[in-house]
């Protein structure tokens, strides 16, 4: 196990650094959780997404925060935050298409899930129950800064049009609320 040095940095782990390490994954997750804001107040097509600037991770407001596996509560936000952060970095920094970035992020998410001792099949089964089909998605509350590049890359034009209409409605609401505050 790595120990903190006097400079605040972690020393190298004992053993090969090419091995998958649950400890390192946990350390990375903690760092990510400090750098991004989590928002669960919106309707997010396909469960999760991110703001255009990558500073906010959105998780659909109807997704339960945990599921039960072998009598344990498994909290899922951390894995979705990891997935969305990796995906956003791959798209922005390496200019990958969404589909390629998604595959890398999915494998990173799977590694983190397994490092926690959770069976991927159980986790994935839970997630699949809540992934809404685009046609079924109610978009009553959509964040105005949601990055829509993944939806463009998927060429889901019908969903994109519905999302754009929902974002316009939200923008009108935001402007109206700001106007009311200035009148007070």
pLDDT tens digits for range 45-83: 989 999 999 999 999 999 999 999 989 999 999 999 999
Tell me the residue range of the domain where 70 lies.
22-183
What's the pLDDT score for residue 123?
97
pTM of the model: 0.82
- 78, part of any domain: yes
102 belongs to a structural domain: yes
pLDDT higher at 165 or 101:
101
Q: Which residue blocks in the chain are alpha helix, DSSP H?
A: 22-35, 77-94, 98-115, 120-130, 149-153, 157-183
Domain assignment present for 77: yes
> What pLDDT, on a 0 to 100 scale, did the predictor assign at position 134?
47
For the chain, what is the mean pLDDT?
86
**Does residue 13 sit within a domain?**
no
The domain total for the chain is 1
Tens digit of pLDDT for each residue in 22-53? 778 788 888 988 999 999 999 999 899 999 99
Tell me what percent of the residues of the chain surpass a pLDDT of 70: 85
Q: Token digits for 47?
A: 């469960």
Give the list of residues 6+ apart from residue 74 with CB closer than 8 angstroms, or none. 66, 67, 68, 116, 118, 122, 123, 126
Residue 94 lies in a domain: yes
Closest CA to 76 of 85, 86, 66: 66
Q: For residue 149, tell me if it sits in a domain.
A: yes
Per-residue pLDDT at 97: 95
Handedness of CA 83, 134, 120, 97 (dihedral sign): negative
Q: Which two tokens stand for residue 94?
A: 């390496």
The per-residue pLDDT for 137 is: 66
């Amino acid at each position: 196990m790595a120990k903190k040095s006097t400079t605040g940095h972690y020393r190298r782990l004992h053993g090969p650094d090419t091995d998958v390490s649950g400890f390192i994954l946990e350390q990375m997750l903690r760092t990510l959780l400090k750098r991004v804001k989590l928002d669960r107040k919106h309707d997010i097509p396909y469960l999760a997404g991110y703001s255009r600037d990558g500073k906010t991770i959105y998780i659909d407001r109807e997704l339960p925060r945990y599921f039960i596996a072998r009598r344990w509560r498994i909290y899922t936000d951390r894995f979705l935050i990891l997935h969305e952060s990796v995906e956003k970095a791959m798209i922005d920094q390496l200019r990958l298409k969404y589909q390629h970035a998604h595959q890398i992020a999915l494998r990173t998410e799977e590694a983190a899930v397994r490092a926690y001792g959770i069976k991927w099949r159980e986790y994935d089964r839970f997630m699949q129950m809540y992934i809404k089909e685009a046609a079924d998605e109610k978009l009553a509350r959509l964040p105005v800064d949601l990055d829509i590049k993944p939806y463009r890359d998927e060429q889901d034009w019908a969903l994109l049009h519905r999302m754009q209409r929902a974002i316009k409605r939200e923008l009108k609401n935001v402007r109206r609320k700001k106007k009311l505050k200035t009148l007070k």
